[in-house]
Structure 1
């Protein structure tokens, strides 16, 4: 007996622009993704997430009443299994960086194509992070060192003490910070892909990381990866 397709993710859209909410709802619904609600500000997003229990929240960065950053913080503190994708008009945005540090699983520009939007929602629903390596690397390079020095209040309570990691796990985290996939990790370290996945899972557990987005941020903030280091595009 063959397994059926995975269940469709349940999505909440939070954006203060009605046109964006309507457009994204139509796009996702047409592709078989269940949009369980849409709201116009961060406070409504927090309340709706608790009421509707979506799998994925599409969260605008800048909204009235409560911005997307604070809403993301509250949602992920209350519902660790929920995945948040940030919506922004500007990829090199300090708020996007802070959201990734808090545990958002990635970000999308609002001019995203319909197919990319649907694919992104399905990807993060599987528990992975949405990372476009070249854009994410530029974003993190721009803000990580400054945030790490300042103890940015927008940064998460992520463990920055790496002493719990083995030498091999430090190697793996460094390569994660450079944007490598599990397949690329395995090739670079001459490991099986299953072993690479095990190392990644142990790093996440030891450092309380949600996914690869937080791993990239942490690798830069702790100096494992420096601006200009080679990365996979």
Structure 2
């Protein structure tokens, strides 16, 4: 697994590099700004971009928007703090793979491994805040014509279950789950599981 680290705190960057390399994870490069994140991703197209949200000039959300526009399959994992609420909502709506608290270095390796496996990572402490952050409720059930089964499926995705776990819960094959997910994303005009989870907390929670 190849990683890019971008954070405007040099100490954080060096600490992360030490932690990851001790786990035999290759760090392609380190950057200190949103502009550098874009340039470095263009150069390396690493497996995962681990990036701070709050940076001067160009923040992580702005950099992610540019990167995902050019590289839609980019896997971006944010490092956040509890004061980053407004950025968190914007980041998730862009389709980043997730976010973890900067204070919790112990979870970084497992989070990166999950993102590398194309899973979404939601820090528990912050996910609990989403209903308050995403307070734009509407009659989504009627507006999008969602039946009970579809609402249950979206709820399972929002709670972090992977395809195998959803298949076991709903007594379906993994192939059926993949088709169901694809159809739901098309129906709701969403891009990926992250946006489907956000849809749940915004409209169905």
How would you bin the TM-score normalised by the shorter chain? 0.7 to 0.9
Q: Which residue does 2:200 correspond to in 1?
A: 219
Task: Find the aligned partners of 2:21 and 2:64 in 1 and give their Cα distance.
Answer: 23
> Aligned in 2, Cα 1:12/1:142: closer, same or farther, shift over 3 Å?
same
Structure 2 alignment gaps of length 5 or more? none
Structure 1 alignment gaps of length 5 or more? 1-8, 150-160, 227-233
Q: Is the 8 A contact 2:79 2:102 kept in 1?
A: yes
Structure 1 counterpart of 2:40, from 41, 48, 62: 48
Task: Find the aligned partners of 1:143 and 1:97 in 2 and give their Cα distance.
Answer: 7
Q: Is the 8 A contact 2:80 2:99 kept in 1?
A: yes
Q: Is the 8 A contact 2:68 2:74 kept in 1?
A: yes
Task: Find the aligned partners of 1:188 and 1:23 in 2 and give their Cα distance.
Answer: 40
- Name the structure with the higher helix share: 2
Task: Find the aligned partners of 1:119 and 1:211 in 2 and give their Cα distance.
Answer: 21
TM-score, length basis structure 1: 0.75
TM-score, length basis structure 2: 0.84
SS of residue matched to 2:122: coil
Task: Find the aligned partners of 2:189 and 2:41 in 1 and give their Cα distance.
Answer: 23
Q: Which residue does 2:18 correspond to in 1?
A: 26
Q: Which residue does 2:28 correspond to in 1?
A: 36
Task: Find the aligned partners of 2:170 and 2:7 in 1 and give their Cα distance.
Answer: 42
SS of residue matched to 1:16: coil
Q: Deviations over 1:35-84 (max 9, x none)?
A: 11111111111111111211211111111120111011111111111111
Task: Find the aligned partners of 2:117 and 2:16 in 1 and give their Cα distance.
Answer: 20
Where do 1:60-139 residues align within 5 Å? 60-90=52-82, 93-114=85-106, 116-132=107-123, 134-139=124-129
Q: Which residue does 1:176 correspond to in 2?
A: 157
Aligned residue pairs, count? 201
SS of residue matched to 1:145: coil
Structure 2 counterpart of 1:198, from 179, 182, 200: 179
> Aligned in 2, Cα 1:81/1:218: closer, same or farther, shift over 3 Å?
same
